[in-house]
Amino acid sequence: MSFDYDLFVIGGGSGGVRAARIAAGEHGARVALAEESRMGGTCVIRGCVPKKLMIFASQAGLMAEEMRGYGWEGAQAGRFDWEVFKQKLDAELTRLELIYTANLTKSGVEIFHQRATIVDHHTVALADGTRKTAKHILIAAGGRPALPGIPGEELGLISDDLFLLESLPRRVLLVGGGYIACEFATILAGLGCETVQVYRGDAVLRGFDRQARDLATLQLSEVGIDLRLNVTPIALERAADRIAVTFSDNSRDDFDAVIFATGRTPHTKGLGLENTGVHLDPNGAIGVDEWSQTSVPSIFAVGDVTDRVNLTPVAIREGHAFADTIFGGRARKVDHTTIASAVYLRPHEVAQIGLTEEQAQARGDVDVYATVFRPMRSMFAGSNAKVMMKLLVDPESDRVLGCHIFGPDAGEMIQLAAIPITMGATKADFDATMAVHPTAAEELVTMRQPARRHRRAIPAQAATA
């Protein structure tokens, strides 16, 4: 049977673009890609990139405060001009979008700037009504913000909207305690908005190491965010030009904007999957095996649409491995077990790789090398901000099971620590590494004594046997 293409990719985000570029450019496959919005997807257009630039923009106040502590009398952040920033941001995103498009075209990928849906195991329909056939279809449709399902939620915004605002809200509510809520609370407070964040749990960033979570929770309050824990909104109403919110503790408050950062769901709705028999997980994610293959042999899926680990480098790696395996004659799987990530808060970031202390303890014996201290730079300026470094070590093998950092540029630090940890480094390897002085990161190679040792309790019967 002959097909129009060897591969048709649905979605021009991190995973789709990489798969298409490698399949066509490196392995000579005939590839087409459909993107219904802007090329580059979530990361480039409404995620990692604009978010990180906003983080950089938001730290002027903290920097000025620190510099006053160094003797720069009267140092002030000045007035932030959202319009100026947004013009520059738009130009930068357009530049990146064009680079993504040009790289695909250079690799020989045919691009369709429209929505695609699946008709059958080898056929895709484009929004203009044309149909294309392909030996393989790759779904890289990403994820979408999920709303909590409360009355009046249509009055709220989602993270996508934040990059399009005409002006910044004076008083804003962020709902959620995950990556996006914490990063955007930090950004908006840093840019001068009166920021309230509500989270239904007792410490933000569930899933991270508890000690790091506690420090992050404290920091959010210390940078001026009104963080309210164990509470969640139950209804939104329009009140003149504001939004009135009722919370689970019966309190009420008014805001200029409410932003829901209550998780993301795989973007599988309306994709035509019912025409294929592709198996979906209960949360709507596309079920795939270790080769990113769905229950239909000709259809594959990578990235957030599979809800494995929803991070850009993971989507990219999955797309690349798929292209190498199917078109490059090089079978490659992605190891999802040890993946570093960072939450870009200010002044200190949260970064992690491997097991948390709680997970390591549940797994068995673990030695915890941890230190919490005031770093030289901010302490000199009079700040109480604390840094945490933690290594979790298996006492039997000496292997480092996890590393957690709360501190300035923790994301940069964890990237480097991730190399030896992914290679299987032991605590002795860390100890053998000469420190770089004076840095905060040197603590990672100078912690000699465990702060605590967790030992699995031996059941009484086994102990006496």
Active site amino acids: 437
Give just the sign of the alpha carbon dihedral 240, 158, 168, 77. positive
| Residue 413 found at the interface with ligand NAD (CB under 6 A) | no
61 binds, among ligand NAD, ligand FAD, none (CB under 5 to 8 A by kind): none
Pattern 293-322, ligand FAD, x by CB under 6 A: ----------xxx----xxxx-x-------
Give me the least distance between CB of 92 and ligand NAD, in Å please.
18
**Stretch 388-447 residues interacting with ligand FAD (CB under 6 A):** none
Positive/negative CA dihedral, 394, 398, 402, 406: positive
| Cα 48 to Cα 42: distance, rounded to the nearest angstrom | 8
Strand order through the sheet with 233-239: 233-239, 242-247, 252-255
Residues in Cβ contact with 442 at an 8 Å cutoff, skipping those fewer than 6 apart: 435, 436
Residue of 68, 115, 121, 200 interacting with ligand FAD (CB under 6 A): 115
Q: Angle formed by the axes of helices 48-57 and 82-106, to 10°?
A: 150
Residues 410, 349: Cα–Cα separation, whole Å = 5
Tracing tokens 């075209």 back to the chain, one arrives at 105
Q: How far is the CB of 159 from ligand FAD (least distance, A)?
A: 4
Helices 179-190 and 210-222 pack at an angle, to 10 degrees, of 20
Burial class (CB in 10 A: 0-12, 13-18, 19+), 92: middle
Q: Is 184 in the site for ligand NAD (CB under 6 A)?
A: no
Residue 408 touches which of ligand NAD, ligand FAD, none (Cβ within 5-8 Å per kind): none
Q: How far apart are CA 385 and CA 381, in angstroms?
A: 10
From 34, 175, 286, 425, residue interacting with ligand FAD (rule: CB under 6 A): 34
Helix (H) or strand (E) holding 113: none
Of 211, 262, 293, 306, the one binding ligand NAD (CB under 6 A) is 262
452-454 sheet: strands from edge to edge: 341-343, 349-354, 400-407, 387-393, 366-373, 452-454
Verify binding: residue 375, ligand FAD, rule CB under 6 A: no
Residue (284 or 313) nearer to ligand FAD, CB: 313
Burial class (CB in 10 A: 0-12, 13-18, 19+), 377: middle
Beta carbon of residue 299, minimum distance to ligand FAD (angstroms, whole number): 13
x/- contact string, 38-57, with ligand FAD (CB under 6 A)? ---xxx---xx--x------
Minimum Å gap between C-beta 2 and ligand FAD is 24
Identify residues 238-277 at the interface with ligand FAD (CB under 6 A).
267, 271
> Using CB atoms within 10 A of its CB, is residue 256 exposed (0-12), middle (13-18) or buried (19+)?
middle
Q: How far apart are CA 313 and CA 316, in angstroms?
A: 5
Closest CB to ligand FAD among residues 11, 375: 11
* Least distance to ligand NAD, CB of residue 325, Å: 24
Q: What is the CB neighbour count within 10 angstroms for residue 98?
A: 12
Does 172 bind ligand NAD (CB under 6 A)? Our answer is: no
Span interacting with ligand NAD, options 175-183, 295-303, 362-370, 388-396, rule CB under 6 A: 175-183
**Binding segment (CB under 6 A) for ligand NAD, from list 134-142, 213-221, 260-268, 381-389:** 260-268
Q: Is residue 317 near ligand NAD by the rule CB under 6 A?
A: no
Question: Among ligand NAD, ligand FAD, none, what binds residue 54 when CB lies within 5 to 8 Å by partner kind?
Answer: none
Total of chain residues touching ligand NAD, rule CB under 6 A: 23
Contacting residue, 111, 138, 172, 180, with ligand NAD by CB under 6 A: 180
Q: Per-residue contact track with ligand FAD, 180 to 219, x per CB under 6 A? A: x---------------------------------------
Among 101-109, 337-345, 413-421, 437-445, the segment contacting ligand NAD (CB under 6 A): 337-345
Answer for which of 264, 267, 348, 404 binds ligand NAD (CB under 6 A) is: 264
DSSP 8-state code for residue 235 = E
Complete DSSP assignment for 287-348 = P--TTSB-SSTTEEE-GGGG-SS--HHHHHHHHHHHHHHHHSS-------SS--EEE--SSS
By the rule CB under 6 A, 137 interacts with ligand FAD: no
Contact criterion met (CB below 8 Å) for 44 and 312: no
For ligand FAD, give the closer residue by CB, 233 or 319.
319
At its nearest, how many Å lie between ligand NAD and the CB of residue 393? 26
DSSP 365-393: -EEEEEEEE--HHHHHTT----EEEEEEE
Question: Nearest CA to 452 among 384, 363, 369?
Answer: 369
Backbone angles phi, psi at 39, to 5 degrees: -65, 135
Q: What is the contact surface with ligand FAD in residues (CB under 6 A)? A: 10-16, 34-37, 41-43, 47-48, 51, 115-117, 140-142, 159, 180, 267, 271, 303-305, 310-313, 315
Q: What is the contact surface with ligand NAD in residues (CB under 6 A)? A: 148, 175-181, 183, 199-200, 206, 232, 261-264, 310-311, 341-344
